[in-house]
Every structure is written in structure tokens, then in C-alpha cells.
Structure 1
């Protein structure tokens, strides 16, 4: 049951479990990249099999990252939809700046940095809530503390 819990968005996990899983994802990605690089030798690119394995890893890692982030938001008493809000609000300023540059329009000297600050601020606040804020003690709308734990 434990490993299956990692893939579910229901329940709550604490900060420690979040960071342990997050670091495992990063280390697995680094190890996979190292193995792929070493296996490649002198040839350019990756084979179809290597590419499919990497794609599979990235899909799984992305889903697990979303699931553990939602569980951390649940631990702070917030809906998992906050993650979608964070993604949109953090990406929107960068997207607007990029699209304006593509359209050939000149972005004023204050607008681009202001949009960048907004994106960084939203991203920073999301990391604070997900990674560092203490969860609510006791039962909340999403269950008991650790109810989404894989341990």
C-alpha cells in the first residue's frame, strides 16, 4: 500500500516526507541522466529505448511531484487547486513578457522587471507553503496528519 500512496493526491504529508520524496526524485533523475550519458559513449543523442525510459521517468516524476505538493497543501488546510493557481500565476508574467517580445512590441523598461518580480514572488510563496509551512495540527478537511503518507 505504501508505494501506491505516493501516486495519490488524497490525504496529507508532512514537510519531512515531502522533502525526502522530492530529493529522491532529484537524485533518481540525476542518476538516470548520468547512466544515460555514460551509456551513450561518443555517440550523439539517445536511443529510442533510452528516450522512452527517460520519458517514462519524467511522466512518473511529474505526477509524483504534483501528488506530494497537493498533499502538502492539504496539510496546510488548502485545496490542491492552489497548485494550479500557483502554476498559472507564476508562469503568466513570464509568458506575457515572452509573447510581447515575439510580437515585436517594446516592453517598457519597468513592465518586464515588474512582471518578473510578480512571477518570482508567487513562486516563492508557493515554495514557502508547500515546502516550509508547518501543517495544521490535528484533523482538518483532508484528514489526519500523515494520512497520505507512503511510510
Structure 2
């Protein structure tokens, strides 16, 4: 299995099975990466009260009120968190884009499935409390749910699409490879010309 393509590249299509395998791998990697980050910070003598990895932390970049200026007092912790969060965001986007390609959808759908809900959640507590915000609140719930259903449970387009061949068809063709041919005795009979027959006295005469 080409994990470099699965986790870091944005081209091609990814089926449902590969999607779930990748998510399990990413979850395991997040746990290991989190433990590694905590070990590094402990080795550097930094006191870490909380340290999490979340791709949605990227939306804090556009929210000055959410900047954790206290992290500037511990620059190694800040750099480590930025690197780890950036890595997890890249992997999440690479998996989602290839799965959307399998559904014959471009990466622009991430604006509806990921960016808009993330921005709403980041600024939710500072938006005006009015009925005009209700459609945005509903969209922030419905869109991620729709993305989860589409990427996790719906089959991709049957046959090739503009993003590449059908991964399900490729798997079927591999599993349905022709089995080894059985030995057919009738096909193995060798016919020889009469001149190659034994001398006449050596023939066995069969009775009627």
C-alpha cells in the first residue's frame, strides 16, 4: 500500500474502504504524535498543562482574539504545535480531497464541508444573537454531517471519471484474476505422423 499517496497527495480517487483505513491510520498516528510531542516538551523542561492536535485550530489564524499570546513565552512549544497541526491538516485534506474525487466532486467542496462550518464555530460566540443567524447555525451542523455521510458511506462514481479510474473496479479486477488453468488430458495428446510409429511387428493387435 502506497501510504505516501494515501496521506500526502491530492491526485486520484480513494474508495470507501481505503478512506476508513486511512482514518484509522491517522487516528493512531495522532496518538503517537501527541505522545511524541509531550515527550519532547518534557525533555526540554517545558511545563505542558494541555496540548492537543486539531485540524480546526487553523481557523484561529484568522481570529486575533483567539491568539494564545502566552505561547510566545514558550517558543519551542508554539513551533511544535504549529508543525504538528499543519501536518495533521495536510493529511486530513489529502484524504478528503481524494474521497471527494471518487464522488466526482472537486476540492472546492471543502469550502462548504470544512471551511464555512469551521469559521462559524470559531466566531459563534461573537455573532449577533438573532434569527438571521439561524440558517448559518443549521448549515454548520448539516454540512459536516453531509460530508461525513458522503465521504464515509456513499459509493463513488461507477467507472472512470475526470479524476481517474474507479478504485472499486480496480479492486474487483484484481480479486477476479483468472485462476490457474486445470490440466486437460485431452489437450496434451501429441499426434505424430505414421512414420514415427513403431515397426509393424511391434504393434499390438487388438481383438475385435
Report the Cα distance in structure 2 between the residues aligned to 1:119 and 1:74, rounded to whole angstroms: 23
Mean CA deviation greater in 124-133 or 138-147: 138-147
- Between 16-25 and 50-59, the greater mean CA deviation after superposition: 50-59
Report the aligned-residue RMSD.
3.1
**Partners of 2:17 and 2:33 in 1: CA distance:** 24
Structure with the bigger RCO (C-alpha within 8 Å, sep 6+) is 1
2:159 corresponding residue in structure 1? 138
Query: With structure 1 as the length reference, what TM-score do the two structures score?
Result: 0.73
Contact residue 9 and residue 71 of structure 1 kept, 8 A = yes
Report matched runs for 1:105-116 at 5 Å: 107-108=129-130, 110=131, 115-116=136-137
Alignment partner, residue 29 of structure 1: 30
Determine helix, strand or coil for the equivalent of 1:135.
coil
Which structure has the greater CA radius of gyration? Answer: 2
Q: How many residues align?
A: 141
Other-structure match for 1:83: 110
CA deviations on 1:63-88 (whole Å, 9 max, x unpaired) are 12101101100101111111123223
Check if 1:128 corresponds to 2:155.
no
Distance in 1 (CA, whole Å) between partners of 2:75 and 2:118 is: 31
- How far apart are the structure 2 equivalents of 1:60 and 1:92? 20
Map 1:2-151; keep pairs closer than 5 Å. 2-6=2-6, 7-37=8-38, 40=42, 44-45=47-48, 52=79, 55-94=82-121, 97-100=124-127, 107-108=129-130, 110=131, 115-146=136-167
Q: Which runs of 5+ in 1 are unaligned?
A: none
Contact 1:75–1:142 (CA under 8 A) maintained in structure 2? yes
CA contact 1:97–1:112 (8 Å) conserved in 2:
no
**Structure 2 unaligned spans of 5+:** 52-73, 169-208
Check whether the contact 1:11–1:146 (CA below 8 A) recurs between aligned residues. no
How far residue 2 of structure 1 moved from its aligned partner, in angstroms, is 2.3
Give the TM-score normalised by the residue count of structure 2.
0.55
Q: Which moved more, 1:26-35 or 1:49-58?
A: 49-58
